[in-house]
Structure 1
Amino acid sequence: MTPQQIARFCLELPGAREDIKWGSNRVFSVAGNKMFAILDFLDSGNGGLAFKVGPELFLGYVDRPGIRPAPYLARAFWIAMQRPYPMGDAELREALTRSHQLVVARLPKRQRLGLVLETP
Protein backbone atom coordinates (compact mmCIF):
# COMPACT_ATOMS: atom_id res chain seq x y z
CA MET A 1 0.00 0.00 0.00
CA THR A 2 1.13 3.53 -0.62
CA PRO A 3 0.89 6.20 2.09
CA GLN A 4 -2.07 7.70 0.20
CA GLN A 5 -3.86 4.35 0.19
CA ILE A 6 -3.18 3.92 3.91
CA ALA A 7 -4.58 7.38 4.65
CA ARG A 8 -7.69 6.67 2.57
CA PHE A 9 -8.19 3.32 4.30
CA CYS A 10 -7.79 4.81 7.79
CA LEU A 11 -10.35 7.51 7.00
CA GLU A 12 -12.85 4.85 5.87
CA LEU A 13 -12.88 3.33 9.37
CA PRO A 14 -15.89 4.40 11.46
CA GLY A 15 -15.46 7.77 13.18
CA ALA A 16 -11.87 8.25 11.96
CA ARG A 17 -10.43 11.69 11.37
CA GLU A 18 -7.05 13.04 10.34
CA ASP A 19 -5.00 15.83 11.89
CA ILE A 20 -1.50 17.13 11.27
CA LYS A 21 0.53 17.14 14.49
CA TRP A 22 4.13 17.58 15.53
CA GLY A 23 5.18 19.23 12.30
CA SER A 24 4.29 16.86 9.47
CA ASN A 25 2.83 13.75 11.13
CA ARG A 26 -0.56 12.70 9.80
CA VAL A 27 -2.40 11.44 12.87
CA PHE A 28 -5.51 9.26 12.52
CA SER A 29 -7.75 9.22 15.55
CA VAL A 30 -11.21 8.35 16.73
CA ALA A 31 -13.48 10.00 19.33
CA GLY A 32 -11.71 13.31 18.98
CA ASN A 33 -8.17 12.60 20.11
CA LYS A 34 -7.64 8.84 20.56
CA MET A 35 -4.87 7.98 18.08
CA PHE A 36 -4.78 4.66 16.27
CA ALA A 37 -2.24 5.34 13.49
CA ILE A 38 0.43 7.88 12.54
CA LEU A 39 1.67 8.31 8.97
CA ASP A 40 4.97 10.04 8.12
CA PHE A 41 6.03 9.05 11.63
CA LEU A 42 9.33 10.62 12.71
CA ASP A 43 10.43 11.40 9.19
CA SER A 44 9.77 14.12 6.68
CA GLY A 45 7.07 12.70 4.44
CA ASN A 46 8.74 9.38 3.61
CA GLY A 47 5.76 7.28 4.62
CA GLY A 48 6.90 5.99 8.01
CA LEU A 49 3.94 4.32 9.71
CA ALA A 50 3.16 3.59 13.36
CA PHE A 51 0.08 2.03 14.92
CA LYS A 52 -1.17 0.25 18.02
CA VAL A 53 -1.12 -3.54 18.34
CA GLY A 54 -2.36 -5.81 21.09
CA PRO A 55 0.11 -6.68 23.85
CA GLU A 56 -0.08 -10.35 22.85
CA LEU A 57 1.13 -9.51 19.31
CA PHE A 58 3.71 -6.83 20.11
CA LEU A 59 6.80 -9.04 20.54
CA GLY A 60 5.91 -11.13 17.49
CA TYR A 61 5.74 -8.02 15.33
CA VAL A 62 8.96 -6.43 16.58
CA ASP A 63 10.83 -9.69 15.94
CA ARG A 64 10.05 -9.32 12.23
CA PRO A 65 12.57 -7.54 10.00
CA GLY A 66 11.57 -3.96 9.23
CA ILE A 67 9.26 -3.58 12.26
CA ARG A 68 10.41 -1.97 15.48
CA PRO A 69 8.89 -0.60 18.68
CA ALA A 70 7.60 2.91 17.98
CA PRO A 71 9.73 5.53 19.74
CA TYR A 72 7.84 7.22 22.60
CA LEU A 73 4.83 4.92 22.09
CA ALA A 74 6.23 1.41 22.56
CA ARG A 75 5.09 1.24 26.19
CA ALA A 76 1.53 1.48 24.83
CA PHE A 77 2.30 -1.37 22.37
CA TRP A 78 2.80 0.68 19.21
CA ILE A 79 5.00 -0.53 16.36
CA ALA A 80 6.70 1.47 13.59
CA MET A 81 7.92 0.67 10.09
CA GLN A 82 9.36 2.44 7.08
CA ARG A 83 8.64 2.04 3.39
CA PRO A 84 8.61 -0.41 1.78
CA TYR A 85 6.30 -1.78 4.43
CA PRO A 86 7.18 -5.29 5.60
CA MET A 87 3.51 -6.37 5.49
CA GLY A 88 1.32 -7.19 2.54
CA ASP A 89 -1.71 -5.03 1.77
CA ALA A 90 -4.25 -7.39 3.34
CA GLU A 91 -2.19 -7.84 6.52
CA LEU A 92 -1.65 -4.09 6.80
CA ARG A 93 -5.39 -3.38 6.40
CA GLU A 94 -6.16 -5.99 9.05
CA ALA A 95 -3.56 -4.54 11.45
CA LEU A 96 -4.86 -0.98 10.99
CA THR A 97 -8.44 -2.15 11.54
CA ARG A 98 -7.34 -4.00 14.68
CA SER A 99 -5.55 -0.85 15.89
CA HIS A 100 -8.73 1.17 15.36
CA GLN A 101 -10.80 -1.39 17.23
CA LEU A 102 -8.31 -1.59 20.13
CA VAL A 103 -8.73 2.15 20.63
CA VAL A 104 -12.53 1.98 20.22
CA ALA A 105 -12.72 -0.81 22.83
CA ARG A 106 -11.19 1.50 25.44
CA LEU A 107 -13.76 4.25 24.90
CA PRO A 108 -16.70 4.72 27.27
CA LYS A 109 -19.68 2.65 26.18
CA ARG A 110 -21.70 5.67 24.98
CA GLN A 111 -18.83 6.76 22.68
CA ARG A 112 -18.43 3.28 21.15
CA LEU A 113 -21.85 3.37 19.48
CA GLY A 114 -21.41 3.13 15.73
CA LEU A 115 -17.65 2.64 15.96
CA VAL A 116 -17.43 -1.09 16.72
CA LEU A 117 -17.01 -3.19 13.60
CA GLU A 118 -18.84 -6.50 13.33
CA THR A 119 -16.56 -9.53 13.14
CA PRO A 120 -17.42 -12.15 10.53
Structure 2
Amino acid sequence: MDFEAAKALCRTFPGATEDLKWETRAVYSVGEKMFAMSDYAVPAAGICFKVEDERFLELTDRPGIIPAPYLARAKWVHVEEAKALSDDEAAALLRRAYELIFAKLTRKLQRQIGEQA
Protein backbone atom coordinates (compact mmCIF):
# COMPACT_ATOMS: atom_id res chain seq x y z
CA MET A 1 0.00 0.00 0.00
CA ASP A 2 1.35 3.35 -1.02
CA PHE A 3 0.27 5.73 1.76
CA GLU A 4 0.48 8.81 -0.45
CA ALA A 5 -1.72 7.14 -3.08
CA ALA A 6 -4.17 6.21 -0.32
CA LYS A 7 -4.34 9.85 0.79
CA ALA A 8 -4.93 10.94 -2.82
CA LEU A 9 -7.74 8.39 -3.15
CA CYS A 10 -9.47 9.74 -0.02
CA ARG A 11 -9.57 13.19 -1.62
CA THR A 12 -11.52 11.84 -4.63
CA PHE A 13 -14.59 10.57 -2.79
CA PRO A 14 -17.75 12.69 -3.26
CA GLY A 15 -18.02 15.36 -0.57
CA ALA A 16 -14.72 14.35 1.05
CA THR A 17 -12.70 17.07 2.75
CA GLU A 18 -9.14 17.13 4.07
CA ASP A 19 -8.24 19.09 7.19
CA LEU A 20 -5.16 19.47 9.33
CA LYS A 21 -5.96 18.52 12.93
CA TRP A 22 -3.85 18.10 16.03
CA GLU A 23 -1.01 19.91 14.20
CA THR A 24 0.27 16.76 12.45
CA ARG A 25 -2.72 14.77 11.17
CA ALA A 26 -4.41 14.93 7.78
CA VAL A 27 -8.03 14.03 8.48
CA TYR A 28 -10.41 12.96 5.71
CA SER A 29 -14.09 13.51 6.41
CA VAL A 30 -17.47 13.41 4.76
CA GLY A 31 -20.25 15.54 6.23
CA GLU A 32 -17.75 16.64 8.90
CA LYS A 33 -17.37 13.04 10.13
CA MET A 34 -13.95 11.39 9.91
CA PHE A 35 -13.44 8.25 7.83
CA ALA A 36 -9.62 8.21 7.52
CA MET A 37 -6.55 9.88 8.98
CA SER A 38 -2.84 9.95 8.15
CA ASP A 39 0.34 11.88 8.77
CA TYR A 40 0.22 15.34 7.24
CA ALA A 41 3.90 15.05 6.37
CA VAL A 42 4.99 13.59 3.04
CA PRO A 43 5.73 10.74 2.83
CA ALA A 44 3.16 9.48 5.30
CA ALA A 45 4.27 6.78 7.74
CA GLY A 46 0.85 5.13 8.04
CA ILE A 47 -2.89 5.54 7.73
CA CYS A 48 -5.89 4.93 10.00
CA PHE A 49 -9.45 4.29 8.87
CA LYS A 50 -12.84 2.98 9.95
CA VAL A 51 -13.65 -0.68 9.26
CA GLU A 52 -16.70 -2.85 9.67
CA ASP A 53 -17.03 -4.43 13.11
CA GLU A 54 -16.68 -7.95 11.70
CA ARG A 55 -13.44 -7.08 9.84
CA PHE A 56 -11.72 -5.36 12.79
CA LEU A 57 -10.28 -8.49 14.43
CA GLU A 58 -9.38 -10.06 11.08
CA LEU A 59 -7.39 -7.01 10.03
CA THR A 60 -5.70 -6.38 13.38
CA ASP A 61 -4.47 -9.99 13.43
CA ARG A 62 -2.30 -9.23 10.39
CA PRO A 63 1.29 -8.09 10.83
CA GLY A 64 1.64 -4.34 10.29
CA ILE A 65 -1.97 -3.51 11.22
CA ILE A 66 -2.91 -2.55 14.78
CA PRO A 67 -5.99 -1.13 16.51
CA ALA A 68 -5.89 2.63 15.97
CA PRO A 69 -4.83 4.52 19.10
CA TYR A 70 -7.79 6.35 20.67
CA LEU A 71 -10.17 5.10 17.94
CA ALA A 72 -10.04 1.31 18.31
CA ARG A 73 -13.28 1.27 20.32
CA ALA A 74 -14.97 2.73 17.23
CA LYS A 75 -13.41 -0.05 15.08
CA TRP A 76 -10.62 1.92 13.43
CA VAL A 77 -7.37 0.26 12.34
CA HIS A 78 -3.91 1.73 11.87
CA VAL A 79 -1.80 0.40 8.99
CA GLU A 80 1.81 0.82 10.07
CA GLU A 81 3.56 -1.11 7.32
CA ALA A 82 3.02 -0.46 3.62
CA LYS A 83 3.31 -4.16 2.78
CA ALA A 84 0.42 -5.10 5.12
CA LEU A 85 -2.16 -4.39 2.38
CA SER A 86 -2.05 -4.46 -1.39
CA ASP A 87 -3.02 -1.25 -3.18
CA ASP A 88 -6.28 -2.84 -4.40
CA GLU A 89 -7.27 -4.10 -0.95
CA ALA A 90 -6.38 -0.75 0.63
CA ALA A 91 -8.48 1.10 -1.95
CA ALA A 92 -11.45 -1.18 -1.24
CA LEU A 93 -11.08 -0.71 2.53
CA LEU A 94 -10.82 3.08 2.22
CA ARG A 95 -13.89 3.16 -0.06
CA ARG A 96 -15.75 1.06 2.54
CA ALA A 97 -14.62 3.39 5.37
CA TYR A 98 -16.07 6.31 3.41
CA GLU A 99 -19.32 4.38 2.76
CA LEU A 100 -19.72 3.44 6.45
CA ILE A 101 -19.51 7.07 7.52
CA PHE A 102 -21.58 8.35 4.59
CA ALA A 103 -24.38 5.92 5.55
CA LYS A 104 -24.59 7.52 9.02
CA LEU A 105 -25.20 11.00 7.63
CA THR A 106 -28.69 12.43 7.45
CA ARG A 107 -30.62 11.74 4.25
CA LYS A 108 -30.65 15.46 3.53
CA LEU A 109 -26.87 15.69 3.77
CA GLN A 110 -26.47 12.55 1.65
CA ARG A 111 -28.63 14.12 -1.06
CA GLN A 112 -26.65 17.37 -0.94
CA ILE A 113 -23.36 15.50 -1.33
CA GLY A 114 -24.85 13.42 -4.14
CA GLU A 115 -25.95 16.57 -5.98
CA GLN A 116 -22.43 18.02 -5.74
CA ALA A 117 -20.81 14.90 -7.23
> Do they fold alike, i.e. is TM over 0.5?
yes
Structure 2 CA distance for aligned equivalents of residues 70 and 45 of structure 1: 19
- What TM-score do the two structures reach when normalised by structure 2? 0.88
Secondary structure in 2 matching 1:23: coil
Greater helix share, 1 or 2? Answer: 2
Q: How many residues align?
A: 113
Work out the CA distance in 2 between the residues paired with 1:96 and 1:83: 16
| Cα separation, 2, equivalents of 1:96 and 1:70 | 15
Aligned partner of 1:38 in structure 2 is 37
1:85 to partner: Cα distance: 4.1
Query: Where in structure 2 are the equivalents of 1:4-15 lying within 5 Å?
Result: 4-15=4-15
TM-score for the superposition, normalised by structure 1: 0.86
| Structure 2, unaligned runs of 5 or more | none
Displacement of 1:2 in angstroms is: 2.7
Q: CA deviation at 1:95?
A: 0.1
Report the counterpart of residue 105 of structure 1 in structure 2. Answer: 103
Q: How big is the alpha-carbon RMSD for the aligned residues of Structure 1 and Structure 2? A: 2.0
For the Cα contact (< 8 Å) 1:24–1:44, is it kept in 2?
no
The DSSP-based 3-state class of the residue aligned with 1:35 is strand
Distance 1:44 1:70, change over 3 A: farther
Tell me if the contact between 1:46 and 1:83 (Cα under 8 Å) persists in the aligned partners: no
How do 1:9-28 residues align onto structure 2 when only pairs under 5 Å count? 9-28=9-28
Matched, 1:52 2:44: no
Distance in 2, matches of 1:46 and 1:11, equals 15
Helix, strand or coil at the partner of 1:71:
coil
Give percent identity, aligned residues only. 41
For structure 1, the 5+ residue unaligned runs are 116-120
Shift >2 Å, 4+ stretches:
1-4, 43-47
